[in-house]
Amino acid sequence: MSTLLVVGGVAAGMSAASKAKRLDPSLNVIALEKSPYVSYGACGMPYNLLRPDDPMESMVVITPEQFRTKRGIDARTNMEVLEIDAYNHTVKAKNLVSGELSTFQWDSLVYSTGAHSIKPAWPGIELEGVLTLRDLVDGKAVKDYLARKAPKRAAIIGGGYIGLEMADVFTELGIEVTVIEKLPSIMPGWEPEIVKPVHVALEKGGVILLEGVTVTGFEGSNGQVKAVLTDGPTIPTDVVLVAIGVRPTVDLAVNAGIKLGPTGAVAVDREMRTNIPGIWAAGDCAEQWHRVLQRPAYVPLGTNANKQGRIAGENAVGGHVAWEGMIGTSVFKTLGADAARTGIGRAEAKDAGIDVAVSMIDAFDQAHGMPGRKPMRVILISRKDNGQLLGAQLVGAGVAKRVDILATAIWAEMTVKDVGNLDLAYAPPFSPVWDPVIVAANIAEKDVDPNGLECRFCK
């Protein structure tokens, strides 16, 4: 019997394990996960915090027991892999509960260790109340802290999507929020026309934004965090969330001789193969193939992890499926100003040497006359030479699935003219008769005069 060993059992790892076992029921599939949990929806943790009576463990989609009994997968938690021996095809692991050491033989291996929060060695980082929110253990710690300490003020370090989702959640919990971003603006990598309405919505919602401010450490009292120290003001707080990004977890891979790509994540081809025969990698520890840029990038998202995992699983049992790649489609919710993006932005286009046109529309999510309609902004980024749509960013109401229209159009290599011709659904509660997506495409095609359009976000 052949053995597939999966190192890391969250999204990518358990997708790989499930796919492989389904394709080859005779396969012995072992998944080793360092934490006490496999297969959970980490992205749902911020929203779980809003429900005090719903334990964080409810984020678990499938338990190790269910993997064993229903899917025939030997999923083991609290198992830290210490070494991957690529030559002898073994893995050494330690049971973190019993301390027991074991060695596993494998025929194929999927490396899916994920990523970990960046937590600099700031003085005071060890104080109680300085938290991160990456895995389920983090999520439990945050929830427990909120229950025990009932903080009144929170400082969030980092104005990316996790930071802003958490600003939303803390605000909803009645906690005063300060967001500290080192860069000149929150939402690095987003177009300024999209950032501005989010900025306005956050401040309107009572969130204090400190941009261009560098954290230098923390002040505490009796081991408990009391303030964030910066190169600017000192921010008194009852809890700190460090959300300045993640790094791929690659130590084991590097020690095993698995090569990293230029992004610092594990280099994989489109079949999720690493440089070592018999070892695949998938998920947040690995690079992702960017379909628009036609090169690897590092976009650690759950959607990509699940897809990469399935492909790794299929190929680990002899398949030859190539990933069609991703285009960086994502969305997040923050204080009524949802923001969504797909494809590339101005900066990425410039880096790639592509000359682009940018068109923008301020519109509403519902039809004329609907009293509850809310503003929305759409930006399209298209090739100047042939009009091919390369990117889109949206902010406001109703953007979450509208971005998918544009993601589909980018996927199909449509031009803005094509998008302007699309037959999209219309009923007054759901859309204006000309969907904002179509109007934005018509503007790009110079088919509409943008000066005639009211700026919904300018007030």
Active-site annotation, residues? 43
Q: How is residue 18 annotated by DSSP?
A: H
Q: Report the residue from 283, 411, 440, 441 that binds a second copy according to the rule CB under 8 A.
A: 411
Read off the tokens for 418.
């094509």
Single out the residue of 47, 236, 10 nearest to residue 142, CA to CA: 47
Binding to a second copy by CB under 8 A, coded x per residue (else -) over 146-165, reads -------------------x
Beta-carbon contacts of 423 under 8 Å, excluding residues fewer than 6 positions away, are none
Q: Report the residue from 89, 400, 453, 456 that binds a second copy according to the rule CB under 8 A.
A: 400
Least separation in angstroms between residue 158's CB and a second copy is: 17
**Cα dihedral across residues 423, 426, 431, 432: positive or negative:** positive
Total residues at the site for a second copy (CB under 8 A)? 67
CA distance 90 to 96: 19
Q: Judged by CB under 8 A, which stretch of 243-251, 272-280, 354-362, 424-432 contacts a second copy?
A: 424-432
Count Cα neighbours of 200 within 13 Å in the Cβ-side half-sphere: 14
Q: How is residue 258 annotated by DSSP?
A: P
Residues numbered 339 to 368 that lie near a second copy (CB under 8 A) are: 340, 342, 367-368
Q: Using an 8 Å Cβ cutoff, are 443 and 450 in contact?
A: yes
With both helix axes pointing from N to C terminus, report the angle between 192-204 and 161-172 in degrees, rounded to the nearest 10: 20
30 binds a second copy (CB under 8 A): no
Least separation in angstroms between residue 195's CB and a second copy is: 18
Q: Report the residue from 234, 428, 446, 455 that binds a second copy according to the rule CB under 8 A.
A: 428
Q: Judged by CB under 8 A, which stretch of 81-89, 123-131, 243-251, 422-430 contacts a second copy?
A: 422-430
Q: Judged by CB under 8 A, which stretch of 152-160, 222-230, 248-256, 410-418 contacts a second copy?
A: 410-418
Distance of CA 123 to the CA centre of its chain: 28
Q: How many CB atoms lie within 10 A of CB 126?
A: 12
In the complex with a second copy, the residue whose CB is nearer, 93 or 202, is 202
CA distance 283 to 305: 4
Phi and psi torsions of 83, nearest 5°: -155, 140
Q: Using an 8 Å Cβ cutoff, are 315 and 280 in contact?
A: yes
CA distance 343 to 435: 20
122 binds a second copy (CB under 8 A): no
- Altogether, the residues listed in the chain come to a count of 459
In the complex with a second copy, the residue whose CB is nearer, 269 or 404, is 404
Helix, strand, coil content of the chain in percent (nearest 5):
25, 30, 45
401 binds a second copy (CB under 8 A): yes
433 binds a second copy (CB under 8 A): yes
Query: What are the beta bridge partners of residue 101?
Result: 94
431 binds a second copy (CB under 8 A): yes
Distance of CA 57 to the CA centre of its chain: 20
324 binds a second copy (CB under 8 A): yes
Beta-carbon contacts of 264 under 8 Å, excluding residues fewer than 6 positions away, are 247, 248, 250, 298
Single out the residue of 125, 118, 116 nearest to residue 216, CA to CA: 125
Distance of CA 381 to the CA centre of its chain: 22
Q: Report the residue from 150, 421, 446, 455 that binds a second copy according to the rule CB under 8 A.
A: 421
In the complex with a second copy, the residue whose CB is nearer, 252 or 378, is 378
Residues numbered 54 to 113 that lie near a second copy (CB under 8 A) are: 54, 58-59, 61
In the complex with a second copy, the residue whose CB is nearer, 227 or 317, is 317
Q: Report the residue from 330, 388, 393, 415 that binds a second copy according to the rule CB under 8 A.
A: 330
CA distance 82 to 187: 36
Residues numbered 292 to 311 that lie near a second copy (CB under 8 A) are: 301-304, 306-307
408 binds a second copy (CB under 8 A): yes
425 binds a second copy (CB under 8 A): yes
Least separation in angstroms between residue 372's CB and a second copy is: 10
Least separation in angstroms between residue 42's CB and a second copy is: 10
Q: Report the residue from 434, 450, 453, 457 that binds a second copy according to the rule CB under 8 A.
A: 434
In the complex with a second copy, the residue whose CB is nearer, 275 or 306, is 306
CA distance 238 to 154: 6
The angle formed by the CA atoms of residues 420, 421 and 426, to the nearest 5 degrees, is 90
11 binds a second copy (CB under 8 A): yes
Least separation in angstroms between residue 209's CB and a second copy is: 21
Q: Which residues bind a second copy (CB under 8 A)?
A: 11, 41, 43-44, 46-48, 51, 54, 58-59, 61, 165, 291, 301-304, 306-307, 324-333, 338, 340, 342, 367-371, 398, 400-405, 407-409, 411-412, 414, 418, 421-431, 433-435, 437
